Chain A
Amino acid sequence: MISRAPAMAERQVRGSSSDAGEARINVRGLNVSFEGHRALKDISFAIPDRRITAIIGPSGCGKTTLLRSLNRLVDSTDGVKVSGEVWVDGADIFAPGVDVAAVRKKIGLISQKPSPLPMSIYDNVAYGPRIHGTKDRKVLDRVVEDSLQTVGLWEEVIGRLKLPASKLSIGQQQRLCLARSLAVQPEVLLCDEPTSALDPISSQNVERTLVALKHDYTIVIVTHNIHQAIRLADYVAHLYLGELVEHGPAYQVFRSPREERTRAYVDGTFLDGFKKDKELDLKGTKCPANFVHAKLALDDMEKGQVLNVIVDDPTAVAELPRGMEDQGQEVMNVRQVDEHVWEIMIRKRE
């Protein structure tokens, strides 16, 4: 169960009315090679702001390399050669003289294998802020608590903050790594197969956190799990042997991919995801009528069941989730499934 920090509850819920959003990161002609072997060939695409972008493709196709290029962590690999540009907020992060530490503060990364630092839980989360100059104990306490709250770890570790981080379970460790990244207040979160090392329940926890975070952070997630991409992504980039095969809004890449290779990879396994107990088709209705219908439908359901509301009204995409949250219900996901059609999944909490 994710307990959301206050900031989250007041967020402006933006509907995915424009599926690509504004571009947050612009990759232009990125080429990366390791000791002669070309890992990424001429990659160019734009990552939309405050959406979840999934990079999919088979193992070894360069997904991790691409991700690590976005915060210059690729620099530390032996024999690496990078050419091309990655533009973030009006500047190319590969330009000579760029402050790499500042880039990494803005663009955080979580890897596949949870890597807690060899220190206590508190120190793990406070590590980033301390490095960037925060010394005041009270401020650090607040940052640690907020970050742990956001990832839903606070209740589980309260009172044990001084314990070594390595004592946590692997699912908790991964959430700790997420909290650690959030503590430096990044704007972009890069996630390299964040749930592949976790059990299903921990995976679900992490996925839910990412979905909750996407309205405040731009998230890029690498995954070899198509179902996960379908569950989470607003935008998709398909990589194959270092080449960008196709990229576009999720509903388009999964429903009607343009490229044969993408079609073969995705193989028609789409629109799966969460189990829906009831589906309500509200296409054609406007706000606030669709909210009323949804609420009535939810009243009839049992606690814990999931209602899937299908709308085509862009205003509803923003207003309906907000209204539901005000009522104390849990909005699990908002997803665009077609050019003018959205699905809003709500779980009844009370």
Chain B
Amino acid sequence: MRRRRLEESIFKGLMLFSLAAIAGILLAIVVVVTLKGLPALNLAMLTQTPKGGYYLGKEGGILNAIVGSLYLAVGATVLAFLISLPVALYLQRDYAGKTRMAGLVRLFLDILWGIPSIVYGAFGFVVMLYLGIRASLLGGVIALTLLEIPVLARAMDEVIGTVSADLKDASYALGATRWETAIKVTVRQTLPGILTAVLLAFGRGIGDAASILFTAGYTDRVPTSPFDPVASLPLAIFFQLGTPFPEVQRRAYASAVILLAIVLLISIGSRLLSKRFTKHVVK
């Protein structure tokens, strides 16, 4: 018995240690980045675009990157959602469910998830050349959409799969079609999960650098058309960190803080929104 109790304590210790490690890592990232970035963080950073010589230490801000990142991520997430939701619904048992095709689609999605984002960037680049588009908001959105689709589709597939057959049968028994049941019952039941999936994809999209390196371009202005090049926070961090000026490097960390803050705000906002959506969910 003593040996078993010892085992119990050891494993409990290991688990607590892992917990501490995770909390520690998160805290470390936030603290370090914030400490290095806070000195350079001011209102100008958030509200102004880079003026001449910004990258050499002169005035300006990264409004171009903030707005650019939001345009890119929101655009890509919306497009990816429009494609992923029908796929996730079709993979249900009610439709393709157990067929070979469904298995194949899931396999494809899993493989797509694993493809490195730089490869998406390279692929997107080729597509752009073929379509005759320059590095632009549109190019970046296309590349990010491709990146987000497997994340979104698989996550929604998982959560939609948890809807019990009993619940769907209740709808069918009243004479509803599969489509009506999918939209009015299944989606409503899984709304919190779908929201989480959307956020997961958004987070992936807003933080990725490799896929938009060649496809989105970079600019000091806020884009006014989808064919304009667009700046983004990850690339802004990259460029600023790459200069030899400590002042500019501090601004890089400030940009990182802003990026973190956006992701944090979206996360918290979604949890609050999710509460409203769970109101009707059937346990």
Contact = CB atoms under 8 A, between A and B. Distances in A.
B112 interface: no
Contacts of A177: 170
A108 interface: yes
A166 B281 contact: yes
A116 B282 contact: yes
Contacts of A128: 174-175
A101 B170 contact: no
Contact of B175 (A101, A113, A120): A101
A90 interface: no
B11 interface: no
A117 B175 contact: no
A172 interface: no
A120 B279 CA distance: 9
A166 B177 contact: no
A184 interface: yes
A76 B173 contact: no
Contact of B283 (A71, A103, A166, A184): A166
Contacts of B164: 115
Interface string A297-322: 00000000000000000000000000
A88 B274 CA distance: 46
B96 to A, nearest CB: 13
B175 A105 contact: yes
Contacts of A105: 174-175
Interface string B175-219: 111001000110011000000000000000000000000000000
B172 A73 contact: yes
B8 interface: no
Contact of B180 (A108, A110, A119, A131): A131
A132 interface: yes
Interface string B83-122: 0000000000110001000000000000000000000000
A115 B281 CA distance: 11
B280 A131 contact: no
Interface in A152-189: 164-166, 177, 180-181, 184
Contacts of B174: 104-105, 108, 127-128, 131, 180-181, 184
Contact of B282 (A76, A102, A118, A181): A118
Contacts of A199: none
A181 B170 CA distance: 9
B279 A164 contact: yes
Contacts of B279: 164
A78 B280 contact: no
A111 interface: yes
B166 A113 contact: yes
Contact of A184 (B175, B177, B188): B175
Interface in A66-121: 71, 73, 76, 78, 101-105, 108-111, 113, 115-120
B171 interface: yes
A143 B275 CA distance: 31
Contacts of A71: 173
B59 interface: no
B193 to A, nearest CB: 12
A143 to B, nearest CB: 13
B167 interface: yes
A103 B175 CA distance: 7
10 nearest CB pairs, A to B? A115-B170, A105-B175, A128-B174, A104-B175, A109-B173, A101-B175, A118-B280, A118-B189, A164-B280, A118-B188
Interface of B: 93-94, 98, 164-177, 180, 184-185, 188-189, 279-283
26 contacts: A73-B173, A76-B94, A78-B93, A101-B177, A104-B172, A104-B173, A108-B173, A111-B166, A111-B173, A115-B166, A115-B167, A115-B169, A115-B170, A116-B170, A117-B170, A117-B184, A117-B282, A118-B185, A118-B188, A119-B188, A131-B175, A166-B280, A166-B283, A181-B173, A181-B174, A184-B175
